[in-house]
Amino acid sequence: MKKIALLWKVVRDDLRVLLYALRHPDRPRWLMPATALVALYAIDPFNVAVPFVGIVDDGVLVPLALHLIVRCLPIQLQRLRRL
């Protein structure tokens, strides 16, 4: 249960940084398309066809993709994480 709580904390922090970066005028050009692709992957119709596989898949790959996106952001956009 502690691992799930830790994962939730990391995902929540990554989402806060990502939302800050999306609203920032100096965001990289690749940020919007990358975020849109992760969102489309998260709502993929395959999740409806095979529910268990879709839930497990989204529970692992989507947080990993979000974390990778945040780690690739410039340092000045990651500063929210340290606040």
The first and second tokens of residue 9, run together, are 């904390």
**Distances, alpha carbon 81 to alpha carbons 7, 20, 44, 57, in Å:** 15, 10, 29, 26
Q: Which residues of the chain fall short of a pLDDT of 50?
A: none
pLDDT of residue 79: 75
- Alpha-carbon distance of 8 to 13, in angstroms, equals 9
Instruction: State the pTM of this model.
Output: 0.78
pLDDT at 75: 87
Write the pLDDT tens digit of every residue in 19-36. Answer: 999 998 889 999 999 999
Q: Is 18 exposed, middle or buried (0-12, 13-18, 19+ CB in 10 A)?
A: buried
* Cα–Cα distance measured from residue 41 to residue 35, given in angstroms and rounded to the nearest whole number: 10
